[in-house]
Structure 1
Amino acid sequence: IMTFTKLNFTMSVLGIVIYVADIAADIWVTSNYFCEGQYSLGILTLVFRLLSSIIVQIFSYEWFKDDCGSPDPVKLNWIFLLHFLHGGIFTRYWFALKDGYQAAFKQNSSGDKLTGGPASIIHKRAIDAVTDISMLKVFKTFLETSPQLILQIYILMEHDKAAFSQYASIITSFSSISWSTLDYQISLRKSVPDKNQFSGVPPKLIYLLYKLFTLTSWILSIALVTLLNIISSIFLLIFLWTLGFSWTLKQHTTFCTSKRMEFLYRTVVGIILIFTFFNVKGEKTKMYISSYYAIHVLVTLGIMCVCLFWKTSVTEQLYFTFVSITIVLTLGLGIICLIVYNMVFHPTIYFKQESASDKVDGLAGEREKEEISRIRNFIME
């Protein structure tokens, strides 16, 4: 049963505050780079920020068009203008908070669970709005935050000195990336009625640790490659993106309503797959996820061997021992958390399916299935 609670509303308010703070932090970091004469770093930061923002605005605007069906041209023009000015997320937060406030504080869905009445509809609208925001934030995370984090770590290791604020920023970035994947998983499962809900502290904690540890190990590994040779790092990332993009092509994804948007979606998923596993079809993934992390383990071991035997100047640095131990330890802990999650805490195991009598049926059920067609098959694992 889909309900948008007061806690969900509070988290949405917190989400927009964090989003604004993130923009302010990017502006502050970029201005510092330019003030210190590090123009290349400032330009790179701006490129990551603008590119991710443009892609997010494109997806957001196309989703608005898809959801409206036959929209008012004047209203659509205003929405286009807001997205052109990079205000797409703010526009979505406005609708999410407006519907969320009504659902959490003004409506009572208890009497409309089986009828699909106005209360349940407003709850669903609020949940779907938050789910779309969560997915857009996942896109932003892997298009902007992850590359910037690799850049930060590379600068830290290259100069072998940093302020406390840089260490704090790196730790915060790792946590932010992991949290965005968890938030998306929770929001998406909540928006799909026939999926087991992602609730309870133990499953969320294990899932968060699995993402945090595997992402930490992998990003540190890429940073090491970048330190060895920037060109080699670029070729590695392009190769991994090609594998991820090819896999999405083979999966014949149907996420978008147009071919050009589907191509863009597959391109973005290919980038996400560089950093973490992304289930693009909502199908059983044991074989795929096992293969994915087996490749990660082999590539990580290969990177460590190259560091040890190819460029001794890197291994002589004080940070190398600490980084190497962190890579191996977090990779091992991440794999262990993944195994524990899938064997014990996965929603299909940890929670029983709701009985058929608790589900919406009839015309309301058919309508609900149509409305969630965009996101129902895209469960991140």
Structure 2
Amino acid sequence: MMKYTKENFIFLLCGIIIYIVDIGVDFWVASKYFYKGQYTWAILIISFRCLSSLITQIFSYQWFKNDCEDTDPEKLRWIFLVHFFHCGIFIRYWFALKYGCQAAFKQNSNGDVSETDHPNFIQKQAIDILADINMLRIFKTFLETTPQLFVQIYVLMEHKNHNFYQYAAIIMSFCGISFSTVDYQVSLRKSLPDKERFRVLSKLVYLFYKLLTITSWILSISLVTLLSARSSVILLILLWSCGFAWTLKQHTTFCKSKEMEFLYRTIIGIVLLFTFFNIKGRKTKVPISIYYVTHTLVTVGILLVYWFWKPSVVKEIHFTIVGILTILCLVLGIVFLVVYYRFFHPTCYCKQRTCFDEVDRGAGDNVEIGRFQNFIMQ
């Protein structure tokens, strides 16, 4: 397991700031839409926010419950109450700041120390807590941030009057996607002993791969929605069904209860609408090829439908710009994808095997597999 560094602590602080600002921007944008009488967009923005918050609170509380099975029931009731008011993420951020500060700035220990004060224990706690937060942020990104980005881009394409708050919402969405995807991969590398360090160049390549492919796909879906909202919904439901069926076939074992596992697989189906994830940590060459070949065919198909079905629309400047951006983002995204998996992605994959660090070795012969090793692996 790698060490928690000062860089990780700084990224944690940036993540907290973006999270708080993102909440403010969402309500600001929704209020602007309400003020202008555009109730549909306002309701969608708030709905995505509420849905993602509800899902993250459910998973966060279940993780607290699983980790605190022997804890005082009164403490669990307080934890439930905090999550009931949708503030559970702030508890996790508090612990992340506490252990992260100790791990990043107080790593040296002199003399005899207790087990809970041992530097290795602090490192493990900081990395595990950060991993949980990044897992929750992945849920938030694809349940809220990415759909909101789709709504904002669709509104810009549909209406000619553009406002500052719309651009602010789009910028915040891109920032949210950027931080969550990169931080997730960083946590994955730190939590799994077989993974190499995620260096700056590999972070950039990975970031551009994700952002460009997601942007291309969002632009494609926006074009379908402009053509026919019903067709867009049908397409998304069909693709979600394929993603959900794939998670069922993988027999994921992330959650302890069948109900939570079903919810988890449902969410992963939504995640797969926008980007690829290898949910079992196996070799990705075949599934990722199938995934992006399918996305490429659908994207090209959407542009061809416009070309032959709505030739008058093709002559409009906004379609020309959107079409070029869609193809350009897709091509560049796949180029960055190939570069990342060719030169930066580790060739070894996580296996559920017995492995010890200094802390584990004193605990006994069995090691509990961390939550992150059962989570979606890229």
Conserved 8 A contact 1:198-1:347:
no
- Paired letter, 2:212: F
Q: What does residue 42 of structure 2 align with? A: 42
Percent of pairs identical after alignment?
A: 59
Offset of 1:168 from its aligned partner?
Answer: 4.8
Conserved 8 A contact 2:120-2:358:
no
Q: What does residue 360 of structure 1 align with? A: 357
CA deviations 1:6-48 (Å, max 9, x no partner) are 2222222221111111111111111111111112211111111
Conserved 8 A contact 1:33-1:41:
yes
Q: What does residue 13 of structure 1 align with? A: 13
> Residues 321 and 261 (structure 1 numbering): CA distance in 2 closer, same or farther, change over 3 Å?
same
- The residue correspondences of 1:254-293 to structure 2 (distance < 5 A) are 254-293=253-292
Offset of 1:248 from its aligned partner?
Answer: 0.1
> Residues 64 and 366 (structure 1 numbering): CA distance in 2 closer, same or farther, change over 3 Å?
same
Q: What does residue 188 of structure 2 align with? A: 188
Conserved 8 A contact 2:45-2:148:
yes
Conserved 8 A contact 2:18-2:176:
no
Deviates more, 1:359-368 or 1:145-154: 359-368
Q: What does residue 371 of structure 2 align with? A: 374
> Residues 375 and 229 (structure 1 numbering): CA distance in 2 closer, same or farther, change over 3 Å?
same
Offset of 1:104 from its aligned partner?
Answer: 2.1
> Residues 368 and 299 (structure 1 numbering): CA distance in 2 closer, same or farther, change over 3 Å?
farther
Conserved 8 A contact 2:142-2:271:
yes
CA deviations 1:34-67 (Å, max 9, x no partner) are 1111122111111111011000100000011111
With normalisation by structure 2, the TM-score equals 0.91
> Residues 284 and 237 (structure 1 numbering): CA distance in 2 closer, same or farther, change over 3 Å?
same
> Residues 303 and 111 (structure 1 numbering): CA distance in 2 closer, same or farther, change over 3 Å?
farther
Superposed CA RMSD:
2.5
> Residues 362 and 176 (structure 1 numbering): CA distance in 2 closer, same or farther, change over 3 Å?
closer
Conserved 8 A contact 2:202-2:344:
yes
Tell me, what secondary structure is at the counterpart of 2:252? Answer: coil
Tell me, what secondary structure is at the counterpart of 1:284? Answer: coil
CA deviations 1:167-212 (Å, max 9, x no partner) are 35324423431331111011122122x2223422221111111111
Conserved 8 A contact 1:214-1:330:
yes
Q: What does residue 300 of structure 1 align with? A: 299
Instruction: Give the whole-Å Cα distance in 2 for the aligned partners of 1:237 and 1:369.
Output: 43
- The residue correspondences of 1:1-381 to structure 2 (distance < 5 A) are 1-108=1-108, 118-192=118-192, 194-348=193-347, 360=357, 363-364=360-361, 370-381=367-378
Tell me, what secondary structure is at the counterpart of 1:375? Answer: helix
Tell me, what secondary structure is at the counterpart of 1:309? Answer: helix
Q: Number of residue pairs matched? A: 371
Instruction: Give the whole-Å Cα distance in 2 for the aligned partners of 1:72 and 1:314.
Output: 64
Conserved 8 A contact 1:282-1:379:
yes
Instruction: Give the whole-Å Cα distance in 1 for the aligned partners of 2:293 and 2:66.
Output: 38
Offset of 1:362 from its aligned partner?
Answer: 9.2
Instruction: Give the whole-Å Cα distance in 1 for the aligned partners of 2:179 and 2:105.
Output: 27
> Residues 310 and 4 (structure 1 numbering): CA distance in 2 closer, same or farther, change over 3 Å?
same
Tell me, what secondary structure is at the counterpart of 1:376? Answer: helix
CA deviations 1:63-118 (Å, max 9, x no partner) are 11111232210110010000000001101001111111222223327999xx9982
Instruction: Give the whole-Å Cα distance in 1 for the aligned partners of 2:365 and 2:255.
Output: 18
Instruction: Give the whole-Å Cα distance in 1 for the aligned partners of 2:76 and 2:199.
Output: 40
Offset of 1:378 from its aligned partner?
Answer: 3.2
CA deviations 1:206-259 (Å, max 9, x no partner) are 111111110111010001101101011011110110000000000000000000
> Residues 371 and 102 (structure 1 numbering): CA distance in 2 closer, same or farther, change over 3 Å?
farther
> Residues 5 and 361 (structure 1 numbering): CA distance in 2 closer, same or farther, change over 3 Å?
closer
Deviates more, 1:337-346 or 1:250-259: 337-346
Deviates more, 1:336-345 or 1:238-247: 336-345
- Paired letter, 1:26: D
Instruction: Give the whole-Å Cα distance in 2 for the aligned partners of 1:5 and 1:379.
Output: 24
Deviates more, 1:284-293 or 1:155-164: 155-164
Offset of 1:366 from its aligned partner?
Answer: 7.4
Instruction: Give the whole-Å Cα distance in 1 for the aligned partners of 2:98 and 2:174.
Output: 31
Instruction: Give the whole-Å Cα distance in 1 for the aligned partners of 2:206 and 2:365.
Output: 28
> Residues 362 and 124 (structure 1 numbering): CA distance in 2 closer, same or farther, change over 3 Å?
closer
- Paired letter, 1:135: M
- Paired letter, 2:371: R
> Residues 151 and 111 (structure 1 numbering): CA distance in 2 closer, same or farther, change over 3 Å?
farther
Conserved 8 A contact 1:245-1:267:
yes
With normalisation by structure 1, the TM-score equals 0.91
Unaligned runs of 5+ in 1: none
